């Protein structure tokens, strides 16, 4: 190998070695981005339900610690509805609702702990819109042989169709943190591979 080849090798290797050094500094911070996150929820975020759910089930990206898992359901007045203590099964936590929920907007709030000890919390809303509520009894008419029947609501079929369309269109909850961590991991792997190849070529040329 002549002097010119050695200079070219050094010019190619130095930038890659600099990238490898920078990556070595940044990599220890990558696990901090891998905090736990909500991957799927039932009822889903912003869903409109035709009947009250019997439970709320949340699936996360990492396993949950039963001692540090909290799941609550509150009504529009920020009053917690009756529900069981959270039940944890791996990365899934759930609570059973004690009684059927009335029509209205409800908020699910959760707090869990990542495997690195970082606390993660969040909330979302869903709506209960039962299209067939119980009918009120009709007025009592005195001195009349024919009873007065309650007036049927013509809005019930339309409300049911609207509730079905909204529930079907509700998108599943996706954890954006997971996609960001995946992209960063791929980039880091490519840089490490380039640095390894450059180091191999550099030392091979020196031996030659």
Q: Please report the pLDDT score of residue 30 as a whole number.
A: 43
Angle between helix 176-207 and 3-26 (nearest 10): 150
Work out the angle at residue 79's Cα, subtended by the Cα atoms of residues 96 and 86, and round it to the nearest 5 degrees: 25
Question: Taking the CA of residue 166 as centre, how many other CA atoms within 13 Å lie in the half-sphere pointing to its CB?
Answer: 18
> CA-to-CA distance for 32 and 122, rounded, in angstroms?
18
Architecture of the domain defined by 38-131+158-174: Sandwich (2.60)
Q: Please report the pLDDT score of residue 194 as a whole number.
A: 78
The answer to whether the pTM exceeds 0.75 is no
Q: Please report the pLDDT score of residue 132 as a whole number.
A: 72
13: part of which helix (H) or strand (E)? helix 3-26
- Tell me the pLDDT tens digit for each residue of 19-58: 655 555 444 444 444 578 999 999 999 999 999 999 999 9
Chain centroid to CA 128: 21
> CA-to-CA distance for 106 and 81, rounded, in angstroms?
9
Residue 191: count of CB within 10 angstroms of its CB? 17
Query: Confidence band (pLDDT; 50, 70, 90) for 150?
Result: low
Tokens representing 147 are: 């009873």
- Tell me the pLDDT tens digit for each residue of 60-93: 999 999 999 999 999 999 999 999 999 999 999 9
For residues 133 and 95, the model is more confident at: 95
């Amino acid at each position: 190998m002549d002097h010119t080849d050695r200079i070219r090798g050094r010019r190619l290797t130095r930038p890659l070695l600099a990238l490898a050094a920078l990556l070595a500094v940044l990599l220890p911070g990558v696990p901090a981005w891998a905090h736990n996150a909500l991957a799927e929820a039932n009822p889903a975020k912003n869903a409109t339900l035709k009947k009250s759910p019997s439970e709320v089930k949340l699936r996360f990206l990492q396993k949950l610690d039963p001692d540090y898992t909290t799941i609550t359901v509150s009504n529009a007045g920020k009053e917690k509805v009756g529900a069981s203590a959270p039940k944890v099964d791996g990365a899934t936590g759930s609570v059973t609702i004690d009684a059927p929920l009335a029509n209205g907007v409800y908020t699910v709030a959760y707090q869990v702990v990542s495997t690195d000890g970082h606390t993660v919390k969040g909330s979302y809303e869903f709506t209960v819109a039962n299209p067939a509520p119980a009918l009120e009894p009709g007025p009592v008419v005195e001195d009349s042989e024919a009873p007065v029947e309650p007036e049927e609501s013509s809005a019930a079929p339309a409300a049911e169709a609207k509730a079905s369309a909204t529930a079907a269109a509700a998108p599943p909850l996706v954890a954006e943190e997971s996609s960001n961590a995946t992209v960063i991991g791929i980039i880091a792997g490519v840089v490490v591979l380039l640095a390894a190849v450059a180091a191999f070529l550099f030392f091979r040329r020196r031996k030659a």
